[in-house]
Amino acid sequence: MDLNRFTQIDETTWRIEPRGAMRVPAIIYADAGLVQAMDAKVEEQITNVACLPGIVEAAYAMPDAHWGYGFPIGGVAAFDAAAGGVISAGGVGFDISCGVRTLHTGLQYSDVAPHAEALAEALFYRIPAGLGSTGHIHLTGSEMDAMLAGGARWALQRGWGREADLERIEEGGCMAGADPAAVSDHAKKRQQNEMGTLGSGNHYLEVQRVTTIYDATIAAAFGLAVDDVVISIHCGSRGLGHQIGTEFLRRMAIAAPQYGIDLPDRELACAPIDSPVGQDYLGAMRAGINCALANRQIITHLTRAAVADILPAADLSLLYDVSHNTCKLETHEIDGQPRELYVHRKGATRAWGPGHPGLPEALHPVGQPVIIGGSMGTCSYLLCGTSESERLAFSSACHGAGRAMSRRQATRQWHGRQLVDELRARGIIIRSPTLRGVAEEAPGAYKDVTAVVDAADTAGLARKVARVEPMVCVKG
């Protein structure tokens, strides 16, 4: 994008003043290089978001922003129901509550490295991955509804997990206000056999080595030290979330004109939060969040079993589970007054700062872990929420590197077998059901995750805590 189209506020803040139908400014958090590398659709989409009714303060784009459906991926916006605010399925995304959870192993690199090959095989065998992947769990109608209402707590009641896990998951593992009745039978059918599966695309399960500590105090609170080995799981709500998004985008496109909403882009189909469609979507979307939380909880149980077979001394306690692709009702201070807002985060992570009442007691002094995933052959990062982020973007931060090219372009430039061999030569073991999927997720198809994280750190959205490097990666 052309930097001359923006007003530069500081090194990592770029502002677009309201123009045309925009109700608020649009703000991009990124350094000059990242802004220039963004496709022009990011500007178009974030300014369109700024046109929606009831939007508060500004429409925001995170440092990893790129083109998406409706909102840009990396888009954040908050709406006030009392001021006619809307909810948009395109502001949440199709993979509802896609997210990342990171587990400690209690082991160091020297303990794990000799067993990396066996660990890769065990994880690949235990955790189904790939397009259309199914597991051994089949949910009946009543169990499906119980899962959609209960999230990770439901999984725990079925023996998949530990009680201590819940305090390290957003919403305590269960999103309140879920309405299984608002989820279609077709969406439920798609999910019947997909619980405990990674899925495809950029989803992964990765064994990682901590290589750098940036903030020793926060790292100690997170329980991290150099050469520790952790495991990160990245997945979401699978077919159920996609179906919810597809169905409600259609319903919202029909509903918007009935409420006098002039859409700047059909992909931004929305409805008033307090409307029947808006309330139905909230109930279904919250059920989708619970589906994702339950899915990651089951995969955690399967991971613990696989690791125990190879490394019986490991103790896979949960560091934290963070979601992106959500809309949540939160209280934020606007002009010195608390207001309840519906915060859309699409490809963005909540990043509470120190002292937030929603944090576990052990994390109160430092803030919320923010997990920024890399791309199979690159590093990932653990960051921490800041007090400043509340003022900057409703306590939000980026969620990953962000794609630099389409999957089709990636398959033209890279071959899966070649990538697997190249990564093995660097000490990274890849397991995937499809070599095409490996090519689609080539590290070179993504932006520089370090540049994205540095921009988030400089802007004050989140603080760098630790860098981790992949040892084993199971790709979807």
How many CB atoms lie under 10 A from the CB of residue 70? 26
pLDDT at residue 179 in the model: 98
Give the span between the Cα atoms of 54 and 427, in whole angstroms: 51
**Region 138-155 average pLDDT:** 97
pLDDT at 274 over 90: yes
| One-letter amino acid for residue 203 of the chain | H
**Region 430-458 average pLDDT:** 90
**Region 207-220 average pLDDT:** 98
pLDDT at residue 64 in the model: 94
| Proportion of the chain above pLDDT 70, given as a percent | 100
**Region 246-273 average pLDDT:** 96
pLDDT at residue 406 in the model: 85
pLDDT at residue 376 in the model: 84
How many domains would you assign to the chain?
1
Domain range for 42: 3-475
Helix (H) or strand (E) holding 156: helix 141-157
Q: Where are the beta strands (DSSP E) in 355-439?
A: 369-372, 380-385, 396-398, 429-431
Grade residue 131 by pLDDT with cuts at 50, 70 and 90.
confident
The catalytic site residues sit at 399
Q: ∠ at Cα 84 (80, 20), nearest 5°?
A: 95
Provide the β-strand partners of residue 329: 342
Please tell me whether residue 24 adopts helix, strand or coil conformation. Answer: coil
Q: CA separation (Å) from 297 to 184, 233, 382, 447?
A: 23, 10, 20, 29
Q: Where are the beta strands (DSSP E) in 291-440?
A: 318-323, 326-334, 337-346, 348-350, 369-372, 380-385, 396-398, 429-431
pLDDT at residue 318 in the model: 98
pLDDT at residue 375 in the model: 82
User: Which CATH number fits the domain that encloses residue 140?
Assistant: 3.90.1860.10
pLDDT at residue 447 in the model: 82
pLDDT tens track for 399-427? 988 778 888 888 888 888 999 989 999 99
pLDDT tens track for 16-71? 999 999 999 999 999 999 999 999 999 999 999 999 999 999 999 999 999 999 99
Give the span between the Cα atoms of 376 and 207, in whole angstroms: 11
**Max Cα separation, the chain?**
64
Q: What is the DSSP string of 26-69?
A: EEEES-HHHHHHS-HHHHHHHHHHTTSTTB-S-EEEEEEEE--S
pLDDT at residue 134 in the model: 85
pLDDT at residue 469 in the model: 97
pLDDT at residue 200 in the model: 86
pLDDT at 307 over 90: yes
Cβ-count burial of 448 within 10 angstroms (0-12 exposed, 13-18 middle, 19+ buried)? middle
| Proportion of the chain above pLDDT 90, given as a percent | 88
Cβ proximity of 42 and 78 under 8 Å: no
Cβ proximity of 86 and 282 under 8 Å: no
Mean pLDDT value across the chain: 95
pLDDT at residue 1 in the model: 93
- In b/e form, how buried is each residue of 32-67, taking b as 16+ CB within 10 angstroms? eebbebbbeebbebbbbbbbbbbbbbbbbbbbbbbb
Give the span between the Cα atoms of 84 and 368, in whole angstroms: 31
Cβ proximity of 367 and 413 under 8 Å: no
The radius of gyration of the chain from alpha carbons, rounded to an integer in Å, stands at 21
Please tell me whether residue 313 adopts helix, strand or coil conformation. Answer: coil
Provide the β-strand partners of residue 7: 15
pLDDT at 379 over 90: yes
pLDDT at residue 135 in the model: 83
Grade residue 434 by pLDDT with cuts at 50, 70 and 90.
confident
